[in-house]
């Protein structure tokens, strides 16, 4: 192709030479003729270079062999967990901001990952000419409550090359926002949050009051974690030793729990579900430091879901200052306080 084009160019050049001679003959001006030659040469070089670069692109596209094809698709696959996490992050941020629960979180996640993949597929087509079709076929529980499982089917085509695969990804939900407190309390007064914590102001006390919970006033200015982090103190009975519990509360850790809700149900504002879920502690007013106070037990599913009372448990700290949470007997046992 280059050769043919070059022939054309040479012909063009010769034609122009002819014109140059004519100009020279008619006007007798060698200088204006030289300028003409220079301008033409520059144009010719530009055209030649343009042709060359187009030629290289063609060669590159034709050279996309099976090896490169597979390499590009492996790269595509390796992006799926990241892409899914970003979708979850956006969704949970949106729910926290609006306080409005999702009606079917698994379906919404499926749809949103689908949309995000479609965008990616267009990018890949633009850059490599590979046509990718992908579909999320499953969104469900992961290996533990801190993971969710996503299955995707991928089909890809380019010339006579074909690719088909089903990918299973375990996506960690750690460091995502916990939307449940926002859904439950954002409609009550003085509810606020920052990057790490929910600060309830009067909202949680009002919420508990609406559930006829005695001791609800102890939760004025209470707080709880805004971000899901897995507790490092395992087995959980370690919480009863030394200052483990204080560290756990300071870090806002979450724990595996049969009673606490899973991440899908948290997005839907459901505080207890049949899935294997999580629980964290909701701290009452930080000024409380008395023993034998009674109020709703502090695990979040007891506050937001089926409520029952607990007695104040003073928590040891490194500096010797006392903080407390309310804890019923079953949870005392789980965390090593009995
Ligand atoms: Zn813990
Ligand atoms: Zn659930």
The DSSP annotation for 204-219 comes to HHHHHHHTT-TTGGGG
Ligand nearest to the CA of 279: 1
Instruction: Give the distance (Å) from ligand 2 centre to CA of residue 218.
Output: 29
Ligand nearest to the CA of 250: 1
Instruction: Give the distance (Å) from ligand 1 centre to CA of residue 232.
Output: 7
Cα(178)–Cα(267) distance, integer angstroms: 8
Instruction: Give the distance (Å) from ligand 2 centre to CA of residue 6.
Output: 69
pLDDT for 124 beyond 60: yes
User: Cis ω on the peptide bond leading into residue 235 (within 30° of 0)?
Assistant: yes
**CA distances from residue 300 to 134, 231, 265 in whole angstroms, order as listed:** 38, 15, 13
Please write the tens of the pLDDT for every residue from 23-68.
Answer: 445 555 656 677 777 777 777 766 666 655 554 455 455 557 889 9
Instruction: Give the distance (Å) from ligand 2 centre to CA of residue 301.
Output: 12
| Residues 146 and 248 occupy one common structural domain | no
Between residues 44 and 165, which one has the greater pLDDT? 165
Beginning with the edge strand found earlier in the chain, give each strand of the sheet holding 192-193 in spatial order: 192-193, 197-199, 223-225
3-state secondary structure of 230: strand
| Residues 156 and 197 occupy one common structural domain | no
Determine how many CB atoms are found less than 10 A away from the CB of residue 107: 11
Instruction: Give the distance (Å) from ligand 2 centre to CA of residue 263.
Output: 7
Cα(68)–Cα(145) distance, integer angstroms: 38
| Residues 163 and 220 occupy one common structural domain | no
Ligand nearest to the CA of 272: 2
Residue with tokens 């280059």: 2
3-state secondary structure of 63: coil
**CA distances from residue 70 to 98, 146, 167, 290, 295 in whole angstroms, order as listed:** 42, 32, 15, 65, 60
Ligand nearest to the CA of 252: 1
Please write the tens of the pLDDT for every residue from 296-331.
Answer: 999 999 999 999 999 999 998 888 788 899 999 999
pLDDT at 40 (0 to 100): 75
Q: State which residues have CB under 5 angstroms from ligand 1, the bound ion.
A: 231, 233, 248, 253
Instruction: Give the distance (Å) from ligand 1 centre to CA of residue 229.
Output: 10
Burial class (CB in 10 A: 0-12, 13-18, 19+), 218: buried
| Residues 150 and 39 occupy one common structural domain | no
pLDDT for 236 beyond 70: yes
Instruction: Give the distance (Å) from ligand 1 centre to CA of residue 256.
Output: 10
Question: What φ, ψ does residue 110 adopt, rounded to 5°?
Answer: -55, -50
Sequence-separated (6 or more) residues with CB below 8 Å from residue 188: 202, 203, 204, 206, 207
What is the band of 4 on the pLDDT scale with cuts at 50, 70, 90? very low
Domain count, the chain: 3
What is the band of 11 on the pLDDT scale with cuts at 50, 70, 90? low
**136 DSSP β-pair partners:** 152
| Residues 210 and 310 occupy one common structural domain | yes
What value does the mean pLDDT of the chain take?
Answer: 89
Give buried/exposed letters for 256-273 (b at 16+ CB in 10 A, else e).
bbebbbbbbbbbbbbbbb
| Residues 223 and 319 occupy one common structural domain | yes
pLDDT at 2 (0 to 100): 44
Q: What distance separates the 2 farthest-apart alpha carbons in the chain?
A: 115
Instruction: Give the distance (Å) from ligand 2 centre to CA of residue 119.
Output: 30
| Residues 329 and 272 occupy one common structural domain | yes
pTM, two decimal places: 0.80
| Residues 134 and 205 occupy one common structural domain | no
Instruction: Give the distance (Å) from ligand 2 centre to CA of residue 34.
Output: 83
Ligand nearest to the CA of 266: 2
Instruction: Give the distance (Å) from ligand 2 centre to CA of residue 274.
Output: 6
Cα(150)–Cα(133) distance, integer angstroms: 16
**Among residues 120, 142, 172, which one ends one of the domains?**
172
Give buried/exposed letters for 159-183 (b at 16+ CB in 10 A, else e).
eeeebeeebebebbbeebbbbbbbb
The pair of structure tokens assigned to 198 is 């929910």
**Among residues 137, 172, 207, which one ends one of the domains?**
172
Ligand nearest to the CA of 315: 1
Cα(155)–Cα(73) distance, integer angstroms: 10
| Residues 186 and 206 occupy one common structural domain | yes
Cα(1)–Cα(233) distance, integer angstroms: 70
Cα(119)–Cα(283) distance, integer angstroms: 42
Burial class (CB in 10 A: 0-12, 13-18, 19+), 331: buried
| Residues 10 and 153 occupy one common structural domain | no
| Residues 57 and 73 occupy one common structural domain | no
The pair of structure tokens assigned to 246 is 């204080």
| Residues 145 and 230 occupy one common structural domain | no
Which domain covers residue 271, as residue numbers?
A: 180-334
**Among residues 62, 77, 111, which one ends one of the domains?**
62
């Amino acid at each position: 192709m280059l050769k043919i084009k070059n022939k054309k160019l040479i012909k063009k050049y010769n034609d122009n030479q002819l014109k140059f001679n004519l100009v020279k003959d008619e006007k007798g001006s060698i200088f204006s003729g030289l300028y003409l030659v220079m301008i033409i040469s520059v144009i010719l070089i530009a055209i030649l270079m343009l042709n060359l670069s187009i030629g290289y692109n063609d060669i590159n596209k034709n050279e996309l062999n099976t090896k490169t094809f597979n390499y590009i698709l492996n790269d595509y696959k390796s992006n799926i967990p990241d892409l899914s996490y970003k979708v979850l992050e956006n969704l949970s941020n949106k729910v926290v901001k609006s306080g409005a629960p999702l009606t079917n979180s698994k379906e919404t996640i499926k749809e949103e990952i689908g949309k995000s993949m479609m965008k990616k597929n267009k990018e890949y087509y633009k850059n490599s000419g590979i046509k990718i079709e992908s579909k999320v076929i499953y969104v469900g529980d992961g290996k533990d409550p801190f993971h969710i499982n996503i299955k995707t089917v991928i089909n890809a085509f380019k010339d006579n090359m074909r690719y088909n695969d089903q990918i299973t990804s375990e996506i960690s939900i750690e460091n995502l926002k916990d939307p449940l407190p926002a859904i439950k309390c954002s409609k009550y007064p003085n509810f606020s949050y920052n990057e790490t914590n929910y600060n309830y102001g009067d909202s949680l006390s009002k919420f508990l009051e609406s559930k006829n919970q005695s001791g609800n006033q102890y939760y004025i200015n209470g707080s709880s974690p805004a971000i899901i982090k897995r507790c490092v103190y395992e087995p959980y009975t370690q919480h009863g030793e030394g200052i483990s519990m204080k560290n756990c509360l300071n870090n806002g850790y979450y724990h595996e729990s049969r009673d606490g809700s899973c991440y899908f149900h948290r997005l839907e504002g459901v505080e207890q579900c049949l899935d294997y879920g999580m629980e964290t502690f909701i701290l009452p007013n930080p000024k409380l430091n008395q023993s034998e106070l009674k109020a709703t037990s502090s695990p979040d599913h007891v506050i937001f879901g089926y409520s029952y009372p607990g007695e104040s448990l003073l928590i040891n700290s490194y500096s010797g200052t006392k903080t407390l949470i309310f804890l019923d007997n079953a949870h005392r046992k789980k965390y090593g306080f009995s």
